[in-house]
Amino acid sequence: MLKRSYRKIQCRRAGQSGLWLSEIGLGLWKWGDPSYDGSRVGDHDGFPILDRSLEHGIFHWDTACSYNMGSGNSERLLGRYFASRGREVRDQVVLATKVSNPVRPEHVAEADFTPNQSGASRIYVQFAVEQCLRRLQTDVIDLLYIHSPRVDDTGEFIVPLDETWGAMDDLVTQGKVRYIAVSNHSARQMQSVASTVTEVGKDSSRRIVAVQNRYNLLQRNRVASEPEGSERAFLDVARSLGVSVIPYYPLASGLLTGRYRKDTLNKASGRIIDDGAQDAWFTDENLNAVEALIGLAEQKGLSLAQLALGWLLSREEVASVIAGVTRIEQLDDNVGAAELDPDDLGRIDAILEAAGLSNA
């Protein structure tokens, strides 16, 4: 695999495109305005994290129009950051965002949306991108995803694919978007999109370069984004299409950092507890696997987060891992993601098998 280094970070290409991504990226889902939308990071804490991120060489930043909680405030925070740091800083960043979910007007807690104010139609995609550009205080989005496929009861796309991807292609022609991508798509859906993009593209260089799906070492098969889907089959399809995988929840919402341990769960704090998501994450299988993985990480002088991110980066199909961080120390930790050898990967497989998670 072709790699380049930049500051402390290795970089990989998005698919077969000329776009380089820092292997370690930054996820900005829970960023915005803590006084209004319940985010975990606002300007005061966030700007120093963004500064430090660039110092490390972490230049792939991931947000979405609807972050956080449909408010658009994650994009607004980034817009204020770019305005305060200037053009030179904006130009270093690969700015990724997503459309298809509805976004409330600023400072409006609840909104009633018309059917045209969400989804993957031409009317909404074009409107949503104009709004993204305004919130982000920029004139171009480097990587634009369709956030999630909207399908009917039979699993067919509700909006004809040539409408959605014709609109995306026009945005590239207009210079508002540079690269296009999908999120939460299955292998079959990704294949359909890839062939539509080839059909509707204004030139032969237009193609989807990335797929952003849930993927972490406790939930390997979730990357396939469909029940019964398998990790290896999905990665093979992505590779054959020349599409890179960008895992979300790479740290399992924080469970793969060691901050939640079996014997001290009642004293633990963090996002999983604040979000009331304990039942989903604190299963016996997950907690047993975490204990064993911490043991392996300690033997190797790594943090659990470094082991978990390194495991994802051991997959050639993965171009960048976009861990969400809420503190500078977390960013500094994640920068040290491990390079794992086949022996380490075998030991991780054995741990997952013993915990009953090989097929999770």
Ligand X SMILES: NC(=O)c1ccc[n+]([C@@H]2O[C@H](COP(=O)([O-])OP(=O)(O)OC[C@H]3O[C@@H](n4cnc5c(N)ncnc54)[C@H](OP(=O)(O)O)[C@@H]3O)[C@@H](O)[C@H]2O)c1
Q: Report the C-alpha gap between 95 and 85 in whole angstroms.
A: 15
CB of 123 to ligand X, least distance (A): 22
Name which of 170 and 270 has its Cβ closer to ligand X.
270
Nearer to ligand X, 76 or 259 (CB): 259
Judged by CB under 6 A, does residue 17 bind ligand X?
no
Q: Which of residues 292-331 bind ligand X (CB under 6 A)?
A: 305, 322-326, 330
What stretch of H or E contains 50?
A: helix 43-56
Task: End-to-end CA distance of the chain: give it in Å, rounded.
Answer: 28
Closer residue to ligand X, CB minimum distance, 143 or 305: 305
Q: Count the Cβ atoms, other than its own, within 10 Å of residue 99.
A: 27
Would you call 113 helix, strand, or coil by DSSP? coil
DSSP string, 320-354: -B--B-SSHHHHHHHTT-----HHHHHHHHHHHHH
Closest CA to 184 of 145, 155, 216, 152: 145
User: Could you say which of 14, 21, 22, 29 contacts ligand X (CB under 6 A)?
Assistant: 29
124 or 248: whose CB is closer to ligand X? 248
For residues 32 to 61, the per-residue mask of contacts with ligand X, x marking binding by CB under 6 A and - elsewhere, is: --------x---------------------
Q: Which of 81, 124, 179, 249 binds ligand X (CB under 6 A)?
A: 249
169 touching ligand X, by CB under 6 A: no
Residue 137 CA neighbour count, 13 Å, CB half: 16
Using rule CB under 6 A, residue 253 touches ligand X: yes
CB of residue 158 vs ligand X: minimum separation in angstroms?
A: 18
Total residues binding ligand X (CB under 6 A): 29
The answer to whether the beta carbons of residues 250 and 321 sit under 8 Å apart is: yes
Question: Please, what is the minimum distance in Å from the beta carbon of residue 204 to ligand X?
Answer: 28
Cα 86-89-91 angle, rounded to 5 deg: 105
Contact of 223 with 230, CB cutoff 8 Å: no
Residues that bind ligand X (CB under 6 A): 27-30, 40, 62, 183-184, 212, 248-254, 257, 259, 270-271, 305, 322-326, 330, 333-334
